[in-house]
Amino acid sequence: MHSLQSANRDGSLNAASLREEQLHLSLLVSSSWRTINFHVVPVVRRKLGVPALEGAQQMPGFPEGSLRRILSQGVDLVPASTQLWRTSTDYLLTRLLGELGSLQGHRLDSLSILDRVNHESWRDGGRTDGLTFGHLKTVLLWASVLFPAPEDWAELQGAVYRLLVVLLCCLATRKLPDFLHPQRNLLQGSGLDLGAIYQRVEGFASQPEAALRIHATHLGRSPPPRIGSGLKALLQLPASDPTYWATAYFDVLLDKFQVLNIQDKDRISAMQSIFQKTRTLGGEES
Specify the DSSP element, H or E, that contains 14.
strand 14-15
Please check whether residue 56 is in contact with residue 179, taking contact to mean a CB–CB distance below 8 angstroms. Answer: yes
Residue 134 and residue 222: Cα distance in Å, rounded?
31
Are 170 and 253 in contact by the 8 Å Cβ rule? The answer is no
Mean pLDDT value across residues 19-36? 68
pLDDT at 254 over 70: yes
pLDDT band at residue 146 under the 50/70/90 scheme? very high
Lowest pLDDT segment from 110-114, 204-208, 222-226: 222-226
Q: Could you tell me which residue, 154 or 12, shows the higher pLDDT? A: 154
Express each pLDDT in 223-241 by its tens digit: 545 665 678 889 989 988 9
- Taking the C-alpha atoms of residue 7 and residue 257, their distance in angstroms, rounded to an integer, is 46
**pLDDT band at 19; cut points 50, 70, 90:** low
